[in-house]
Amino acid sequence: MFLAAGLGLASTAEASLISRLGGQAVYDTDFNITWLANANANGSMNWTAANAWAAGLNVGGYTGWRLPNADPSCGTTYNCINSELGHLYSTELGVEWSNDITRSTSPYLALFTNVQNTDYWNGNEYAPNPANAWLFRSSNGQQNHNIKDGGLYSWAVRSGDISSSSVPEPGIIGLMGIGALAWAGTRQKRRGLSG
């Protein structure tokens, strides 16, 4: 039994994308972020509306959602794996640059729904021109920028792992306490019999 539990933990420790909230979210162990599983939950919108939409999300009782972070140091280029969407595209889903994300052969793609072959907003403003914001092209893996008033898609993300931030319900804590007391009582009884 302990061996089976240990093997289960080992496979989880190696996984880089893990389904959460019954398939509503996906945890990325590499970046310690949780993606909304629905990659097109609200359609096309401008950057301001996209940020407000993400910030207003409540998924399974979890708030604190946002748009993904770009990596401005990459500039407008491909192979920007330090951006959150770039990492998901290339590292996690194994898409080669200049290919469409929906052509990924990774089994991880099945963890997501409504993945679009389009431009997705990032949460960062484009510093050289504050009228623009960073975007990620899932059609070819390019990081670029666009005017904030343009209509692009949004894919929400949240810092951290949803399951590790969960607090056990009081009933579960009580059952754990009863189990610990029963174990301690059994152990004490065994000591009395052997002594």
Residue 13: in which H helix or E strand, if any? helix 2-14
Under DSSP, the state recorded for 154 is -
Under DSSP, the state recorded for 90 is I
At residue 172, the pLDDT reads 39
Under DSSP, the state recorded for 12 is H
At residue 163, the pLDDT reads 84
Structural contact between residues 115 and 28, judged by C-beta atoms closer than 8 angstroms: no
Residue with tokens 């290339």: 90
Per-position b or e across 15-50, b if 16+ CB within 10 A of its CB: eebbbbbeebbbbbeebebbbbbbbbbbebbbbeeb
How many other CB atoms are found less than 10 A from the CB of residue 117? Answer: 13
By three-state DSSP, how is residue 92 classified? helix
How many angstroms separate the Cα of 92 from the Cα of each of 19, 23, 51, 107? 13, 17, 24, 10
At residue 145, the pLDDT reads 98
Residue 49: in which H helix or E strand, if any? helix 47-55
At residue 164, the pLDDT reads 60
Which residues in the chain come in under a pLDDT of 70?
1-15, 164-195
- Per-residue model confidence as pLDDT tens digits over 16-30: 999 999 999 999 999
At residue 186, the pLDDT reads 43
Q: Is the pTM of this model over 0.85?
A: no
At residue 6, the pLDDT reads 37
